[in-house]
Chain A
């Protein structure tokens, strides 16, 4: 079945360092969504990418959608302690109304 993989599973960085998480789908996606979950909280939507090769920025966060629409990345520049949490990508399952979530990347920022 359709799978969405994320790497790395965990990442510890010093505050001020950059961070990147990668998302890979086994199938072509019509769109991809990114979510952030703070420790003890619920996932919160960050962004949706739709176009091949699309790049979107939100302050220190840069999101990319691959040319083949099978992969995506989230890059955080100069991490802060407020960036701590787990980042998930999610892609729609072909022909259904459901989304498949990646396993997530848990980010820890050391002050």
Chain B
């Protein structure tokens, strides 16, 4: 498996609290992605990065922000968590022209 980890792997939080999920890679790949996965919706892109400090929005970016201050780390922040953000979050990395390698996922529950 590609060198990609996510932390935490599980988190339970309360509505209104900020939450930050971390994606860390050891592959030095340029592209990094954050997806959420919900039953019936497949994988939906939240934000992605095409380089350090270069990020863009995906399909479901409202309520989320990201930062990439160094190649290996891509952070996803829920500014004020809501119950609709309960989901499984996957990070992925990708070299130019290649496939995406996914992390193990973070299961987030917002009460």
Contacts and interface: CB of A to CB of B under 8 A. Distances in A.
A96 B102 CA distance: 19
Contact of B99 (A9, A45, A97): A45
Contacts of B74: none
A32 B28 CA distance: 24
Q: Say which size band chain A's interface belongs to.
A: 20 to 34
Majority SS at the chain B contact face: strand
Contacts, number: 51
Nearest to B88: A42
Interface string A76-102: 000000000000101000001111111
Given A97-B50, A98-B58, A99-B100, A43 B31 contact: no
Interface residues of B, number: 23
A42 B102 contact: yes
Interface of A: 1, 6, 9, 33, 35, 42-45, 48, 88, 90, 96-104
